[in-house]
Chain A
């Protein structure tokens, strides 16, 4: 975990530094740092929460978190809906279809699985 974190940090920090020199604007690099901060903190929250999930629920965790990764849908909507020419619209449309499949299918199948987990012990 820490290995991954430090790798990710190094890469992103490099990107931020490179950005600063290129954009030559303190604002821009500050903004990227803000995004990096959000990313890193969210990873920590994720680790904290997910470590507590019992092995029994690991499959629903995968399909449920997979549905959450379909959040790319938002990007797809922006790409499909904005007026950036036909290529962008077509790519956006395809992205919407695939991302929605991921989201709807993912949440539904997770729900179906979780509904099966029940306790019958007295």
Chain B
């Protein structure tokens, strides 16, 4: 058997392993193995590629791999779980950057592109890769709360975006139709695409982040696929399209969970339609409570639901929540968690934090599950969440969150909202839940409040 066939067969094995690996992720029990299968597939693909007849400079490659491995490993080991959204954004960007560089390197190696399909693919690699790179870096900066990355929106932004996008496409066309100066067109286009990525993401922030991260995830896959078309490599095409599909599915789930179209997230910020409810009206009947009072309520409860939001991540309260959960479980009280799909800054954000704190994943329930049993909940504790529990989504068709599926905590017997103040969430509207007659506000830092409740519970 000659080497080329052997390499192709290895690629086939790798492709199959990638698919089996993703399949493993469908259950927590098999997920670790699934991830390892993916890593194995990657290793097989790399070794096979090193055997390729064209690959002569092993020294450079191995040096590059050593540097990249160390950097990647250090990041992976040292990152805090609360910083996971930033890390995912950063890794997305790296994939995009690699696609641009590979396409650019290909072009530098053989400037006369042999066929139109290859030049189209090269242009696509550069365009998608560059948008992914700069968009991801901006997303990273926002999530990391770097000072120089702020939400920027200015009038005519969409016109500029459209102009940039059109110019990029024009340059792609030139790249395809005038291959003699393809290198020039490619880099010019890539630079403009970097600018486009920045402008696309810079105006999006806060609660819309999960959509952006999922979409950039999808782009990083599509960029890899496009590179596969450049290099005529099936494995890149298959792996890239798997990731592209994954990102698109997540994007769609996130958009549905906010009842907004992808276009609305990307191009308009929130609809400006404000709610008719003023803060004074909504908060006239707010009652605040103390940790001791909450502890007394919990003592006599049978069924407790905790609804976490981004505030839990900010307060790093997940371990305190675990301790409280264990105290309640020890008293025979049922404790579950209601996770809204867009709670946090990326898909599944809350689940990872609670898993980190050793809370069994069976207790992490989806929105539909908890809503169907909400009437049996004695005490619902809302921890650092706001818009995702705002009943206006159901009742006020003019509010910016109208129609968004929410967790109906207002239907629980008693609701305790742990929050620093009555300040609005990302949607910028009042939340009538806080003034509802079955709601008690526990003002303070999320972590400190949960610890206090636990203490009061132990003392009683």
A: residues with CB less than 8 A from B are 1, 4, 15-16, 18-19, 22-23, 28, 31-32, 35, 38-40, 42-43, 45-47, 49-85, 87-89, 91-121
Most chain B Cβ neighbours within 10 Å, of A39, A45, A79: A79
| Set A31, A64, A87: member contacting B25, Cβ < 8 A | A64
Q: State whether A46 and B245 are in contact (beta carbons under 8 Å apart), knowing that A35-B237, A79-B106, A109-B87 are contacts in the complex.
A: yes
| Set A63, A83, A118: member contacting B360, Cβ < 8 A | A118
Residues of A within 8 A of B110 (CB): 84
User: Is chain B's interface secondary structure helix, strand, loop, or mixed overall?
Assistant: helix
CB-based nearest B residue for A82:
B54
Complex CA distance for A91 and B98, rounded to whole angstroms: 9
Residues of B within 8 A of A78 (CB): 49, 52, 54-55, 102, 231
Q: State whether A111 and B36 are in contact (beta carbons under 8 Å apart), knowing that A15-B116, A55-B339, A74-B45 are contacts in the complex.
A: yes
B: residues with CB less than 8 A from A are 15, 18-19, 21-23, 25-29, 31-32, 34-36, 38-39, 41-42, 45-46, 49-50, 52, 54-58, 60-61, 63-65, 67-69, 71-73, 75-77, 79, 81, 84, 87-88, 91-92, 94-95, 97-99, 101-102, 104-106, 108-110, 115-117, 120-121, 176, 213-214, 217, 220-221, 223-225, 227-250, 252-253, 339, 341, 346-349, 351-352, 355-356, 358, 360-364, 366
| Set B26, B34, B68, B247: member contacting A99, Cβ < 8 A | B68
| Sample of 11 more A-B contacts, CB < 8 Å, known A55-B339, A63-B88, A75-B102 | A39-B241, A49-B26, A53-B22, A54-B26, A55-B347, A57-B348, A61-B250, A73-B98, A81-B55, A96-B60, A116-B355
> Number of A-B pairs whose CB atoms are under 8 Å?
413
7 A-B interface contacts by CB (under 8 A): A59-B84, A65-B22, A70-B224, A74-B236, A78-B52, A81-B58, A93-B64
Complex CA distance for A72 and B388, rounded to whole angstroms: 38
Residues of A within 8 A of B15 (CB): 42
Contact B55–A46 (Cβ < 8 Å):
no
Q: State whether A66 and B92 are in contact (beta carbons under 8 Å apart), knowing that A60-B348, A98-B97 are contacts in the complex.
A: yes
Within the complex, the shortest CB–CB distance from B321 to chain A, in Å, comes to 15
Contact A121–B38 (Cβ < 8 Å):
no
Residues of A within 8 A of B243 (CB): 46, 65-66, 68-69
| Set A81, A100, A107: member contacting B39, Cβ < 8 A | A107
Residues of B within 8 A of A54 (CB): 26-28
Contact A1–B252 (Cβ < 8 Å):
yes
CB-based nearest A residue for B239:
A71
Complex CA distance for A51 and B245, rounded to whole angstroms: 10
| Set A63, A83, A89: member contacting B91, Cβ < 8 A | A63
Contact B364–A56 (Cβ < 8 Å):
yes
Complex CA distance for A91 and B57, rounded to whole angstroms: 14
Contact B76–A105 (Cβ < 8 Å):
yes
| Set B32, B61, B214, B363: member contacting A80, Cβ < 8 A | B61
Contact A74–B84 (Cβ < 8 Å):
no
Contact A77–B50 (Cβ < 8 Å):
yes
| Set A62, A94, A101: member contacting B348, Cβ < 8 A | A62
Complex CA distance for A31 and B232, rounded to whole angstroms: 9
Complex CA distance for A106 and B72, rounded to whole angstroms: 8
Contact A67–B91 (Cβ < 8 Å):
yes
Contact A87–B49 (Cβ < 8 Å):
no
Contact A76–B98 (Cβ < 8 Å):
yes
Residues of A within 8 A of B115 (CB): 19, 22-23, 28, 32
Contact A85–B22 (Cβ < 8 Å):
no
Contact B341–A55 (Cβ < 8 Å):
yes
Residues of A within 8 A of B221 (CB): 65, 68-69
CB-based nearest A residue for B357:
A116
Contact B31–A108 (Cβ < 8 Å):
no
Complex CA distance for A4 and B221, rounded to whole angstroms: 14
Contact A92–B26 (Cβ < 8 Å):
no
Complex CA distance for A97 and B310, rounded to whole angstroms: 33
Contact B91–A102 (Cβ < 8 Å):
yes
Contact B75–A105 (Cβ < 8 Å):
yes
CB-based nearest B residue for A105:
B72
Within the complex, the shortest CB–CB distance from A14 to chain B, in Å, comes to 9
Contact A65–B242 (Cβ < 8 Å):
yes
Closest 9 pairs between A and B when the two form their complex, measured CB to CB = A84-B109, A100-B68, A46-B245, A105-B72, A58-B348, A81-B55, A96-B64, A79-B105, A59-B348
Residues of A within 8 A of B176 (CB): 18
Q: State whether A113 and B352 are in contact (beta carbons under 8 Å apart), knowing that A49-B19, A62-B250, A104-B76 are contacts in the complex.
A: yes
Contact B55–A82 (Cβ < 8 Å):
yes
Contact A56–B32 (Cβ < 8 Å):
no
Within the complex, the shortest CB–CB distance from B60 to chain A, in Å, comes to 5
